[in-house]
Amino acid sequence: METTDRNRRENDKLTNNIYKNYLADNFDIGKKVLDFVEGCEEELGEWFREADEICGIAQMRVLKAFQDNHVNDTHFGWNTGYGYDDAGREAVEKVYASVFHTEAALVRPNIVNGTHAISTALFGLLKPGEQLLYVTGAPYDTLETVIGKTSGKNGREDEDPEGFKGTLLDYGILYDEVPLNDRFDVDIEAIVKALKPETKVVALQRSTGYDWRPAISLASIERVCSAVKEARPDIIIFADNCYGEFVDVKEPTELGVDVMAGSLIKNPGGGLALSGGYIVGPEKLIERISYRLTCPGIGAECGLTFGQNRAILQGLFLAPQVVNSAVKGAMLCALVYSNLGFRTCPKPFTKRSDIVEAVEFRDADKMVAFCQSIQSASPIDSYVTPIPWDMPGYDDQVVMAAGNFVQGSSIELSADGPMREPYIGYFQGGLTYQHSRFGVIKSLDTLVKRGLVDVTEGRSEGKTE
Q: DSSP E strands: which ranges in 208-310?
A: 236-240, 259-263, 277-281
Alpha-carbon span 8 to 62, nearest angstrom: 34
Q: Domain spans of the chain? A: 2-56+320-457, 78-317
321, 59 in Cβ contact below 8 A?
yes
Strand-by-strand arrangement of the 236-240 sheet: 104-108, 277-281, 259-263, 236-240, 199-205, 131-134, 174-177
> Comparing C-alpha atoms, which of 76, 105, 29, 86 is closest to residue 290?
105
pLDDT at residue 157, as a whole number: 46
Give 203's strand partners: 134, 238
pLDDT tens by residue, the chain, 465 residues: 565 655 555 566 666 789 999 999 999 999 999 999 999 999 999 999 999 999 999 999 999 999 999 999 999 988 899 999 899 999 999 999 999 999 999 999 999 999 999 999 999 999 999 999 999 999 988 899 999 987 655 444 455 556 788 999 999 999 999 999 999 999 999 999 999 999 999 999 999 888 899 999 999 999 999 999 999 999 999 999 999 999 999 999 999 999 999 999 999 999 999 999 999 999 999 999 999 999 999 999 999 999 999 999 999 999 999 999 999 999 999 999 999 999 999 999 999 999 999 999 999 999 999 999 999 999 999 999 999 988 776 778 999 998 999 998 999 999 999 999 999 999 999 999 999 999 999 999 999 999 999 888 654 333 333
pLDDT at residue 351, as a whole number: 94
> How far is residue 256 from each of residues 76, 190, 221, 222, 230, measured CA to CA in Å?
33, 19, 8, 6, 11
∠57-61-63 over CA atoms, to 5°?
A: 115
Alpha-carbon span 344 to 346, nearest angstrom: 6
> How far is residue 421 from each of residues 116, 207, 212, 397, measured CA to CA in Å?
28, 20, 12, 12
Alpha-carbon span 237 to 259, nearest angstrom: 7
Q: Does domain 78-317 have CATH number 3.40.640.10?
A: yes
Strand-by-strand arrangement of the 357-360 sheet: 343-345, 357-360, 424-428, 414-418, 398-401
145, 221 in Cβ contact below 8 A?
no
3-state secondary structure of 142: helix
The pTM score is 0.92
> How far is residue 38 from each of residues 32, 347, 452, 460, 465, measured CA to CA in Å?
10, 18, 21, 10, 21
pLDDT at residue 463, as a whole number: 38
pLDDT at residue 141, as a whole number: 83
453, 359 in Cβ contact below 8 A?
no
CATH number for the 2-56+320-457 domain, one of 3.40.50.1370, 3.10.20.30, 3.90.1150.60, 3.40.50.1100? 3.90.1150.60
> Comparing C-alpha atoms, which of 314, 321, 284 is closest to residue 299?
284
Question: What is the DSSP secondary-structure string of 53-64?
Answer: HHHHHHHHHHHH
Q: Which residues are CB-contacts of 311 (< 8 A; sequence separation ≥ 6)?
A: 272, 273, 274
Question: Rounded to 5 degrees, what are φ and ψ at 211?
Answer: -120, 165
Question: How do the residues of the chain divide into helix, strand and coil, expressed in percent and rounded to 5?
Answer: 45, 10, 45
